[in-house]
Each structure stands twice: as structure tokens, then as C-alpha cells.
Amino acid sequence: MIHIELVIVLIVAITSSVQPISQMCGNSTQNVEDAFRNGEIFKDLNLSPPSDGMGFITVTYGKKQVSCGTLLSVTDAFLPPTISYVAESSNNYTVIMLEVDFPTRTSPVGRSYIHWMMLNVHGSDIDSGNVASFYEPPGYLSIAEPHRYAFLVYKQSNGLMEPRPQNIIRAKFNVREYAHDHGLNSPVAGNYFFIETVSTNPAKVTI
């Protein structure tokens, strides 16, 4: 009887140790996967989390840290943020910042819009990567609902990638399709924020 109980305990312990673990979103009470589900990031980008849990990308604009849903102003996000994430030093990564709601959340006919894209990032050293799209800060919004901006990190399982031309079309970027075509699988880490709306300087968007 004792042996049976020990076996059961060992099975439970082993099973628990291999359960997917998603990191917490900075100062938020949610983990990354729950935040991406609740914020409908997975749904709207047609993505799935990795089977072994999703990491957190530390994103800092000046003195403001993004914690899965932080509200920022256009001024806050004018310059590129400092980012970091848990990475394997021997691997290369693709880092993408997307505007999920382009041009609006109710009519995202340009989803998604690339605001920043780095390829062949060695570990988490963003400066070591190749620029596929230079950082473009969020613009002013005149709509009633703030836009979502998502950061995604993909592990490059096929080694180095050919740098993309830097004059690529930023709108209508299908991140799921791109990841599939380049063997990137699911994003290994993520974070997102909102840009607040303003009553002046409406964005003029042409798709």
C-alpha cells in the first residue's frame, strides 16, 4: 500500500514539474498567456502560445514599464523602448512590435502594422540584430478606443535569417503566416500596451 502511494506521489510530482509555465506580466496580476487571451491578442493575430509556457518581455519607455495592457501616451512611446527577455545565449531571435488595431479596432483592415522588426537578435541583445523595419512610433488617434501594440519574440529554429529589405510594406502584415513560412513556430515571449486617444491631431491613414 505504501509503495502504491509513493508511486502516485511521484507521478503527481513529475506531472506537475512539466506543466507549462507562463511568466507574470511585470506589475500585473496576470501571466502573459492569460493577458494575451483576455486582451484578445491571440485571437486577433490568430496565434497560439508555445506548449512550454510564454515568457514576459520587459518593455521600458523612459521610466514607464509596460505590463500587459499599460496605457501610454504618444509622447511616452516616441523613442524606441529598452527591452529584455529570457533567452538562450546560443540562439537567435526575431523581435516584432505590431499595431494590432490598424487603422481602427472596429475596422482593422490593415492588420497588422509593423512598428519595429529585428531579425537575428543574438540572445536578448537587441542591438546585435539586423533591422528589418526601423522603429516607427505610434501616431495620434482620434477614435474612441485606444489601440493595442504587441511585442512578440520568436526563437529562430533554422539559424540565421536573410535580412529583409528595410522599405517593406508595414501594413497588412500577417505575423502567423510569416512565422509559419520562416519556421518560427509560436512566440516564446510577449507583452502589449495601449496608446491613449486624443481629441486633436487625428492620424491620416492610407492603406
Does some domain include residue 146?
Answer: yes
The pLDDT confidence band at residue 144, using thresholds 50, 70 and 90, is low
CA-only gyration radius of the chain, Å: 19
Query: Domain residues for 83?
Result: 31-195
Read off the pLDDT of each residue in 119-133 and give the average, rounded to a whole number: 95
The three-class DSSP label of residue 14 is helix
Residue 141: all three cell numbers together: 488617434
Query: Per the structure, how many domains does the chain have?
Result: 1
Residue 27: all three cell numbers together: 506589475
Which pLDDT score, from 0 to 100, does residue 132 have? Answer: 92
The pLDDT confidence band at residue 3, using thresholds 50, 70 and 90, is low
Does some domain include residue 128?
Answer: yes
Does some domain include residue 22?
Answer: no
Instruction: Please tell me the pTM assigned to this model.
Output: 0.85
Does some domain include residue 10?
Answer: no
Give the C-alpha distances (Å, rounded to integers) separating 16 from 12, 51, 54, 86, 93: 6, 14, 17, 22, 29
Is the confidence at residue 203, as pLDDT, over 60? no
Which pLDDT score, from 0 to 100, does residue 141 have? Answer: 63
Query: How far is residue 1's CA from residue 139's CA, in Å, rounded to a whole number?
Result: 67
Whether 74 contacts 197, CB under 8 Å: no
Phi, psi (rounded to 5 degrees) for 192: -160, 160
Q: Which residue is associated with the grid cell 472596429?
A: 106
Range with lowest mean pLDDT among 112-116, 140-144, 200-204: 200-204
The pLDDT confidence band at residue 19, using thresholds 50, 70 and 90, is very low
Query: How far is residue 132's CA from residue 203's CA, in Å, rounded to a whole number?
Result: 24
Here the CATH number for the domain that contains residue 94 is 3.90.280.10
Which pLDDT score, from 0 to 100, does residue 26 have? Answer: 87
Does some domain include residue 14?
Answer: no
Query: How far is residue 75's CA from residue 65's CA, in Å, rounded to a whole number?
Result: 14
Does some domain include residue 49?
Answer: yes
Does some domain include residue 204?
Answer: no
Q: Which residue is associated with the grid cell 514539474?
A: 17
Does some domain include residue 179?
Answer: yes
More confidently predicted of 191 and 185: 191
Which pLDDT score, from 0 to 100, does residue 6 have? Answer: 41
